[in-house]
Amino acid sequence: MTTVIHRPNRRAALGLAGALLAAPALRAQTAWPNGPIRIVVPFAPGGSTDVVARLAAPGLTRRLGQPVVVENRSGGAGSIGADAVAKSRPDGQTLLLTFDSHAVLAALLPRLSFNLTEDLDPVMLIGGAPYVIGTRADKPYRGLGDLVAAAKARPDGVSYASAGNGTLGHLTMILLQARTGVSMPHIAYRGGGPAVSDAIAGNVEAVIGSAALLMPQVEGGALRALAQFGPARLPSLPAVPTAEEAGFPGLQAVAWWGVFAPAGTPAPIVARVNAALRETFEAEDLRRQLEQTQQARLVLSDPGGLKTFFDQQIETWGRVVRDNNVRPD
């Protein structure tokens, strides 16, 4: 009798071996999340980024089935918290929710300990709010053109406040001065609150900050908004022109919030986080809160949308930092 020896097909054997090796990874991926999820906010409590994260956390907890906790790790213009996330395990248990200044870190801090685009993967662009420039209500300025005219008439005599060197407010005013040929002294504060307070006190002629920062004082009558730097007027500032409408085409600056994960986080986990964020922010009560308290226009992009936007922000504002040798406070 002839004995027939069946030799296993090499391709099938390799496929079986690959499946066996992949099984633990697939099981781990399916089990995600398998413990508390940290959202690192790289700024102190109380700012807009912290507010956005804490508003989102309860909804994410419900949708992901694990506690979502917000951890503030401030310092280094946001670089310390971002670095901690960049060096975390890419398992979906640690996320970064950060602000517009994230895009200028590499230009502002040449010795940055991580790579903005290689060490962090985009998850979602949540949305943004325009920067607004305002003055004390009893100042004579009625629009951005009036402020520029005064700066031309009084070189170095029209000062403005911002939340600090290298913030988008500061960089926007650098662009404005370059376009108009005026020189306006910059008074950098450690945060938006003190900058607004000194503008109300009359110690500076103007203040620039996010719409969320200035709106309470504008609505209360202490400040007058001269221009907003978004692509369109906010519903809450219908009578205040955009900078483009005021005669400064292309001059836009938007405060934005984005979510990132450590590079290498599995795509299915990133997709699930993105979906949970979208469902959370689309809830009517949360959307209304963000629109009213942060003057936010929600975008809720996919990861690719954040990547495209973020790359553009790095290019635009990084160039301003480098060309003007801007350094942090």
The predicted model gives 276-280 an average pLDDT of: 98
> Would you state the torsion angle of the CA atoms of residues 225, 229, 235, 239, taken in this order, to the nearest 10 degrees?
40
Give the β-pairing of 223-228 and 160-162: unpaired
- For the chain, which residues make up each domain, given as ranges? 35-129+255-323, 130-228
Judge whether residue 25 has pLDDT over 90: no
CATH class held by domain 130-228: alpha beta
Confidence of residue 27 (pLDDT cuts 50, 70, 90): very low
Phi/psi at 192 (5° precision): -75, -35
φ/ψ bin of 107: left (φ > 0), alpha (ψ from -120 to 50), beta (otherwise): alpha
CB atoms within 10 A of CB 123: 26
**DSSP H helices in the chain:** 10-31, 48-64, 79-86, 105-108, 144-153, 168-180, 192-201, 211-220, 267-282, 284-293, 303-323
pLDDT at residue 190, as a whole number: 83
pLDDT at residue 14, as a whole number: 39
Evaluate whether 35-129+255-323 and 130-228 have a shared fold: yes
Answer with the residue of higher pLDDT: 173 or 8.
173
| CATH code that applies to domain 35-129+255-323 | 3.40.190.150
Tokens at residue 222, please?
């202490």
80's CB contacts (< 8 A; 6+ apart) are 42, 73, 74
